[in-house]
Amino acid sequence: MPQEKHFIWPHKDLLDVSQLSLEEVSHLLDTAEQFHEINQRPVKKVPTLKGKSVVLFFAEPSTRTKTSFDVAGKRLSADTFSLSSSSSSLTKGESLKDTALTLEAMNPDVIVLRHKANGAAQFIAERLDCAVVNAGDGCHAHPTQALLDNFTLRRAWNNEYKGKTILILGDIKHSRVARSNINLLTRQGVKVRLCAPRTLLPHTVHTWPVEIFQDLNKAMEGVDAVMCLRLQLERQQSGLLPDLSEYARMYCLTANHMDMAVEGAKILHPGPMNRGLEIASDLADCKNSRVLNQVSAGVATRMAILYLHATRKDKGV
């Protein structure tokens, strides 16, 4: 259980990383470190959130994020309840507001929401008294992913962000992971590069605090880490890509590309991966890959997030 005292978590909800100061991020990741240690023990369960309830409301398909939150909640001894859109009254035409109000009437301490609508987490957070954690809303934000990525990079870079360079590769336009990571990493002094075909970049990307590349070889020069994003296969049907083999030829991360990066550069991917399309299969499994570390980091980070938000009202942590 975290030992640090006198840090009162100021946020009812976690909607996006942009709401967190760097000091708060640091505190959250320090807390996650302690939970990460607990996760290595033979007995991984602690009574920290005993008697608290966490609703996992995933109105959009998800395996790893939902499982990660579920494991995180259970390891803290919280009672977790799952709800998907197919099993909720949303399929009967109930509005998001009414579903959320119904859930709150059952007095949970935290609602973890994934939803396809941008701003969905903010929408229910404004209407509910319990904590709301955004587990991904449309193309907007995925703060818990950005925090777990940050945890992974912090470990890989020995807590030194400043002066490091990371490349985010793939479908930036539709990626909530990219948006949240860009916000956090650039504030930490990391130089962020983006590489994607023009159809997968936002129209106003030139106003973002990033460097833009279309040529993957050039983009890889001197990077300390590369974060591949999942390509949603329907992008081809929607006319954004000519065909997937051309995409793979131009933008699939391979060992040759890694030769351009600094030695030991780390590879991240939020998953699930399309091997051979956005990342070569051997790279996904290589020693510099941090893909599985991200999964472990996800549980620890989400334990910290649930802990900070579920106990916020108690008296500071």
Partner 1 sequence: MKNLFIFNGLLRKKAVDILVSGSTIVSVTPHGEVPAPEDAEIIDATGLIVFPSFYDCHVHLREPGFEYKEDIESGLEAAAHGGFGGVMAMANTKPTNDSASVTEAMLQRAQQTWPNGPYLYPIGAATIGLKGEELAPMGELAEAGCVAISNDGVPVGGAEMFRHCMEYAATFGLTIIDHCEDPTLAKDCHMNEGEISEAIGVKGQPVVAESMQVARDILLAEFLNLPVHLAHISCKQSVDLIRWAKARGVKVTAETCPHYLLLTEKILNNYSTAAKVNPPLRSEEDRLAMKEAIKDGTIDIFVTDHAPHADHEKEHPIEGAPNGISGLDSAVALTWTQVEDGTISEDDFIKLWAEKPAAIFKLPLNTFAEGDIADFFLFDPKEEWKLTEDAMHSKGKNTPFLNTTLKGRVKAHWLGGTRIV
Q: Which residues are annotated as a binding site for L-aspartate?
A: 92, 176, 230
* Stretch of residues binding partner 1 (CB under 8 A), selected from 37-45, 138-146, 250-258, 277-285: 138-146
Decide if residue 92 touches partner 1 (CB under 8 A).
no
Decide if residue 179 touches partner 1 (CB under 8 A).
yes
Q: Out of 3, 158, 204, 237, which residue is the one contacting partner 1 (CB under 8 A)? A: 204
Decide if residue 273 touches partner 1 (CB under 8 A).
no
Decide if residue 237 touches partner 1 (CB under 8 A).
no
Whether the Cβ atoms of residue 227 and residue 253 lie closer than 8 Å to each other: no
* Stretch of residues binding partner 1 (CB under 8 A), selected from 89-97, 255-263, 280-288, 296-304: 89-97
Decide if residue 117 touches partner 1 (CB under 8 A).
yes
Decide if residue 120 touches partner 1 (CB under 8 A).
yes
Ramachandran category for residue 77: left, alpha or beta (phi over 0 → left; psi -120 to 50 → alpha): left
Distance of closest approach, residue 118 Cβ to partner 1, in angstroms: 4
C-alpha–C-alpha distance, residues 5 and 317, integer Å: 6
Decide if residue 115 touches partner 1 (CB under 8 A).
yes
Q: Out of 33, 77, 138, 288, which residue is the one contacting partner 1 (CB under 8 A)? A: 138
Q: Out of 74, 79, 82, 119, which residue is the one contacting partner 1 (CB under 8 A)? A: 119
Q: Torsion angle, CA of 11/139/270/53, rounded to 10 degrees? A: 40
Decide if residue 97 touches partner 1 (CB under 8 A).
yes
Decide if residue 139 touches partner 1 (CB under 8 A).
yes
**CB-wise, 192 or 252, nearer to partner 1?**
192
Please give the size of the binding site for partner 1, defined by CB under 8 A.
24
Decide if residue 116 touches partner 1 (CB under 8 A).
yes
Residue stretches of the annotated binding site: 64-65, 92, 114, 142, 145, 176, 230, 271-272
Which positions lie near partner 1, rule CB under 8 A? 95-97, 115-120, 122-123, 137-141, 173, 176, 179, 202-205, 207
